[in-house]
Amino acid sequence: MAALELRELRKTYRSRGRPAVDAVRGLDLSLEPGELLGLLGPSGCGKSTTLRMIAGLEAVTGGDILVGGASVAGRPAQQRNIGVAFENYALYPPLTVAENLAFGLKARPRGRRGDVSRKVAEIAERVGLTDVLGARPAGLSSGQKQRVSLARALIREPDVLLLDEPLSHLDAAQRDTTRRELKRIQRDLGHTTILVTHDQEEALSLADRIAVMKDGVIQQLGTPYEIYDSPATTFVADFVGEPSVNLLPGVATADGHARLSAGVRIALPVPVAEGRAVVVGIRPEDLSLTGTAGIPARVVAHEPLLESGIATLALDGVERLLVALTGPEVRLAHDEHVRVAAGLTHVFDAETGDSLR
Ligand SMILES: Nc1ncnc2c1ncn2[C@@H]1O[C@H](COP(=O)(O)OP(=O)(O)OP(=O)(O)O)[C@@H](O)[C@H]1O
């Protein structure tokens, strides 16, 4: 049985004098026990609203939420046994770390709290907070505050754990360590988890599966590899990947190519009807600068970086510039003429943005 299921979940915000906002428009999702699902999308796509509905902090407009097969959509938050670690930590400043953790248990009925101090000590040990149990939030680093927020959600032994942008306030170094710790803790404890994030790297590195959201609907649901290697839409292709995918409009030809301009053609990965308007997607790492074969291009800019370089190229008669990754040893001069070849390519319908695979 699914640990968490969303069925046709919907939310419309209505406020007087303003047009209604359809924030979530019919979400279907099913999480296996212990799975970590990343809910990924740009600001305003409905991620937080979805999380708040699951937690019981926002009423649903339609559809249902099932935890372990039982509907919880009509139950108040404190009767759902769902742990939430918020982006802004939501810690109580006057309370110590230990008291903040114990507070997480207060949401449970008195008889089910168990031995509070033992549980606080156990969870503090688990997430590495033992040394700061007597400290107050103001004296903690961002990484420690984040762990208190996580521990407070975990101490209730929730059926489902919700993580709201857990790494967004951490600096780069803390983010890496916290990300690894988060993965270890989630694996060890085996909580069914939804991680809400706008950060593709966070989702790709932590999640078993990712749901990419846009305008209140899921555009694609799949493993990080599926999302990255076979994007279902131009939006998903563009949102996931750094530097971004090259998306080049063209027209399919009779011999299996897309014509980007009078002189530039790119082979398509699947047959497409002649004359159909398409968008060819090529990730920067799937382009290589070749010696003599390939499409002629002119170097507009080249940034040599430590691990790889980024070349911006102009193709003859093609409006959009092309971005390609180069080897770390490559040096290119402005206006230099090179040839570029595409390895893996994707093709989408120009009108709908849907993949034609
Ligand atoms: N209380 C509210 N009243 C009216 N509209 C709202 C309310 N909360 C959110 N919205 C709108 O609903 C849509 C989805 O918002 P939501 O916060 O869920 O998106 P999000 O993907 O979490 O974005 P962010 O990452 O910026 O929080 C947005 O258009 C937002 O303006």
Q: What is the pLDDT of residue 110?
A: 59
pLDDT (mean) for 339-351:
96
Tally of CB atoms within 10 A around 129:
23
Q: Using the mean position of ligand 1's atoms as its centre, give its distance from the Cα of residue 241 in Å.
A: 24
Q: Using the mean position of ligand 1's atoms as its centre, give its distance from the Cα of residue 3 in Å.
A: 26
pTM of the model: 0.91
Would you say residue 162 has pLDDT above 90? yes
For the Cβ of 216 lying below 6 angstroms from any atom of ligand 1, the answer is: no
Residues whose CB falls within 8 Å of the CB of residue 244, separated by 6 or more in sequence, listed in order: 238, 284, 323
Residues whose CB falls within 8 Å of the CB of residue 25, separated by 6 or more in sequence, listed in order: 10, 46, 215, 216, 217
Cis peptide before 243 (omega within 30 of 0): yes
For the Cβ of 45 lying below 6 angstroms from any atom of ligand 1, the answer is: yes
Q: What is the pLDDT of residue 105?
A: 80
**How high is the ipTM of this complex?**
0.97
Q: Residues for the chain: how many in total?
A: 357
pLDDT (mean) for 164-180:
84
Q: For residues 4 and 53, what is the distance between their CA atoms, to the nearest angstrom?
A: 13
Q: What is the pLDDT of residue 40?
A: 96
Would you say residue 109 has pLDDT above 80? no
Digit-coded pLDDT (tens) for 116-142 = 889 999 999 988 899 999 999 999 988
The ligand 1 atom at the shortest distance from the C-alpha of residue 58 is 1
Residues whose CB falls within 8 Å of the CB of residue 213, separated by 6 or more in sequence, listed in order: 39, 40, 41, 45, 46, 47, 50, 219
For the Cβ of 13 lying below 6 angstroms from any atom of ligand 1, the answer is: yes
- Tally the C-alpha atoms within 13 A of residue 328's C-alpha that lie toward its C-beta: 4
Tell me which residue of 204, 140, 167, 194 sits closest to 32, measured CA to CA.
194
Locate 297 and state its tokens. Answer: 């291009």
Most confident of 9-13, 146-150, 187-191: 9-13
Residues whose CB falls within 8 Å of the CB of residue 103, separated by 6 or more in sequence, listed in order: 92, 95, 152
- Domain 246-349 sits in CATH at 2.40.50.140
- Domain 4-239 sits in CATH at 3.40.50.300
Q: What is the pLDDT of residue 113?
A: 58
For the Cβ of 43 lying below 6 angstroms from any atom of ligand 1, the answer is: yes
Q: What is the pLDDT of residue 179?
A: 86
Q: For residues 357 and 351, what is the distance between their CA atoms, to the nearest angstrom?
A: 15
Q: What is the pLDDT of residue 108?
A: 60
pLDDT (mean) for 189-214:
94
Helices (H), 88-220: 97-106, 116-127, 142-154, 172-189, 200-206
Q: For residues 158 and 329, what is the distance between their CA atoms, to the nearest angstrom?
A: 51
Domain boundaries, the chain: 4-239, 246-349
Residue matched to tokens 């407009």: 61
Q: Whose CA is nearest to atom 11 of ligand 1?
A: 23
Digit-coded pLDDT (tens) for 48-107 = 999 999 999 999 999 999 999 999 999 999 899 999 998 777 888 999 999 999 987 876
Q: What is the pLDDT of residue 82?
A: 94
Q: What is the pLDDT of residue 161?
A: 95
pLDDT tier, 11 (very low <50, low <70, confident <90, very high otherwise): very high
Residues whose CB falls within 8 Å of the CB of residue 131, separated by 6 or more in sequence, listed in order: none
Digit-coded pLDDT (tens) for 267-284 = 999 999 999 999 999 999
What is the pairing mode between strands 62-67 and 217-222?
A: unpaired
Q: What is the pLDDT of residue 328?
A: 86
Q: What is the pLDDT of residue 87?
A: 74
Would you say residue 114 has pLDDT above 80? no
Q: Which of 10, 15, 47 best tests ligand 1's pocket when mutated (most atoms within 8 Å of CB)? A: 47
Say if residues 153 and 78 touch (Cβ distance below 8 Å): no
pLDDT tier, 344 (very low <50, low <70, confident <90, very high otherwise): very high
Q: What is the mean pLDDT of the chain?
A: 92
- By mean pLDDT, which of 27-31, 58-62, 288-292, 296-300 is the weakest? 288-292
Task: Classify 235 as helix, strand or coil.
Answer: helix
Q: For residues 350 and 234, what is the distance between their CA atoms, to the nearest angstrom?
A: 9
pLDDT (mean) for 145-162:
91
Which residues sit opposite 39 in a β-bridge? 196, 211
pLDDT tier, 172 (very low <50, low <70, confident <90, very high otherwise): confident
Tell me which residue of 281, 207, 277, 302 sits closest to 239, measured CA to CA.
281
Q: What is the pLDDT of residue 329?
A: 87
Q: In what order do the strands lie in the sheet with 346-349?
A: 264-267, 257-261, 246-252, 277-282, 346-349
